[in-house]
Amino acid sequence: MSENQSFPQSDLFSEQTELKRQLGLTEALSIVINRIIGSGIFRTPMPIMMLVASISLFYGVWIVGGIVTLFGAFCYAELVAMMPRSGGPYAYLKAAYPEVWTFIRGWAMFFVSETGAIAAVALVFAEYTNALYVIITGDQYSRGMEVTIALSVIWLLTSVNCFGIVLSGVLQNIFSFLKLFAVGAVIFTCFTKLGNLAHFTTNFWPEEFTWGTMLAFGAAMRYGFFAYSGWEGATYVAEEVRNPRKNLPLSIILGIAGIILLYLAANTAYLYQLPMEKVQTSKWVAVEAVKMAVGTAGGVMISIAVMLNTFGNVSAQILCKARTWYAMSRDGLFIGPLSKIHPKYKTPNTALLVQAAWASLLLMGAGFAEHAYETIIDFFSFTSSIFNVSTFAAIWILRRKYPDIHRPYKVWGYPFTLIFVLIIHLWFMVVTLITAFIPSLIGIVLTSTGLLYYYRSDIKAWFMQKF
């Protein structure tokens, strides 16, 4: 690895690629939907409500999270239209920052954030499988069985993604439809049966507004942002999308705008059927809400629907994120074999398999914690926010570094949109560090080990000189 490796401008902004461009707008939009709608809308209402303990702040988390996400999408739309390269944020950081920062971001994505998210959603699939088992049998199986099921899902979907982007694209279309149908079914079922409007007015405001209230709101944003996360998913496969300068920005903005409305409707449906206290204690909130509306049969139906949702989300994450490790390896910034493309299927199979292996290790390490899902999110939130800030700031840097490059799309409301997004994410970083210090510290330490890998030649030379 060369510390001063340069990336030709023609490579940064070119649409030329070894990969096959076989995905259209429908597939790109499906990836966005699949990446966003996963475990979040079915699992995060509980920790969010536990933290804010009021209806107004509960909605505030979802509204603020949605607005910040949409504004962030405006920023990404400029980046991806200008640089339709695989790897998502990695590609933009590569163009804007020194090589070492780009590398550390990719290292953190692999060892902390992105594989951690795969593990978290696979775990929710297993939890809702358990919910279905409880409804049918009245018994609950062990945490060990949940972890085993989650591991099986990761490896099954990794195997499927090894057989070509066309098959993966078909899966994205199927699961995006099923996800929208499932969330729509929850909303429709809850609103067509008699609920209780008093749930929206009881405990509407927090008992008091203090610094602790702000910290609780910021901590709840950790789960809100996770529920909206994945909207940049289509940028990871930018080199496999047809007409990427148009289709990718359009898929991101359309996908997010629709899902903000869908999430607000879903949470309203939950509260129409369940009081705040029930939302605070139920990790199967969608099942509980539908059971309250139509009974056990509805609970069975929604359990299956959530399982399909999370299954599809894990598939989308596996598909998208492996392209980052492929892109890094291709650029000489990661383990060499990860850049290998399968000669027949033209997919980065080595990257897919190594990704599955590390996600499995994270799952086994955190899966037996009392609040395993929240623990995994806490683990990567601070580290992710550091690089989110870097990626958004790349807009400003690249406008000065490459002022003459064609930009088919420019950030709406610039610079105010960018400033707003940066302020919110910087505030979120501080709150996350305060409220989840130990998990954040673990994430920082794992990320920092990347420096040992990056400077390994220099470190080896130093040791040989000294000893």
Q: Write out pLDDT tens, residues 77-111.
A: 888 888 887 666 777 888 899 988 988 888 888 88
Q: pLDDT class for 416, splitting at 50, 70, 90?
A: very high
In a domain, 2, yes or no: no
Interatomic CA distance for residues 308 and 433, integer angstroms: 34
Q: Does residue 423 fall inside a structural domain?
A: yes
**CA distance linking residue 5 with residue 100, whole number of Å:** 10
Stronger pLDDT, 117 or 360, i.e. the higher one? 360
Residue 215 DSSP code = H
Tokens of 286: 């969608």
Q: What is the pLDDT of residue 389?
A: 93
What's the mean pLDDT in 255-261? 89
Q: For the residues 438-464, what does the mean pLDDT come to?
A: 86
pLDDT exceeds cutoff 60 at 9: no
The answer, yes or no, to whether residue 6 has pLDDT greater than 60, is no
What is the rounded average pLDDT of the residues 326-331?
80
What is the predicted pLDDT for the residue at 136? 86
In sequence order, what are the beta bridge partners of 23? 241
- Looking at residue 2, its pLDDT comes to 40
pLDDT of residue 57: 96
Q: Is residue 228 part of a domain?
A: yes
Instruction: Kindly report the number of other CB atoms within 10 A of residue 148's CB atom.
Output: 14
The pLDDT of residue 223 is 92
Kindly indicate the confidence band of residue 61, based on its pLDDT and cuts at 50, 70 and 90. Answer: very high
Residue closest to 149 by CA, chosen among 360, 349, 302, 351:
360
Of residues 424 and 463, the one with the higher pLDDT is 424
In the prediction, which pLDDT does 308 show? 81
| Average pLDDT value over all residues in the chain | 84
Residue 3: what pLDDT?
40
**158 versus 18: which is more confidently predicted?**
158
Query: pLDDT grade, residue 169 (50/70/90)?
Result: low
Whether 4 has a pLDDT exceeding 50, the answer reads: no
Domain hosting 89: range is: 17-466
Quick check: is 3 in a domain? no
Q: Please tell me the predicted confidence (pLDDT) of residue 365.
A: 82
Say what the pLDDT of residue 284 is.
79
Closest to 405 in 3D by CA, of 415, 414, 395: 395
- pLDDT, one tens digit per residue, over 332-348 is 777 777 778 777 777 78
Whether 164 shows a pLDDT value over 70: the answer reads no
According to the model, what pLDDT value does residue 172 have? Answer: 60
Q: How many helices (H) and strands (E) does the chain have?
A: 20, 0
- Confidence class of residue 267 from pLDDT cuts 50, 70 and 90? very high
Query: Is 117 within the bounds of a domain?
Result: yes
The yes-or-no verdict on residue 51 having pLDDT over 70 is yes
How do residues 26-42 score in pLDDT, each as one tens digit?
878 877 877 787 777 88
327 assigned to some structural domain? yes
The predicted model gives 417-426 an average pLDDT of 93
Predicted confidence band of residue 167 (pLDDT cuts 50, 70, 90): low
pLDDT at 8 over 80: no
The Cα-based distances of 263 to 50, 254, 258, 337 in angstroms read: 18, 14, 9, 40
Q: Among 55-69, 387-401, 449-463, name the one with the lowest average pLDDT.
A: 449-463
Q: Specify the number of domains making up the chain.
A: 1
Instruction: Note whether residue 389 is domain-resident.
Output: yes
**CATH number reported for the structural domain that contains residue 253 in this entry:** 1.20.1740.10
Let me know if residue 338 belongs to a domain.
yes
- For residues 239-269, one letter each, b for 16 or more C-beta atoms within 10 angstroms of the residue's C-beta and e for the rest, the string is bbbeebbebbbbbbbbbbeebbebbebbbbb
pLDDT at 190 > cutoff 60: yes
Taking the C-alpha atoms of residue 110 and residue 106, their distance in angstroms, rounded to an integer, is: 6
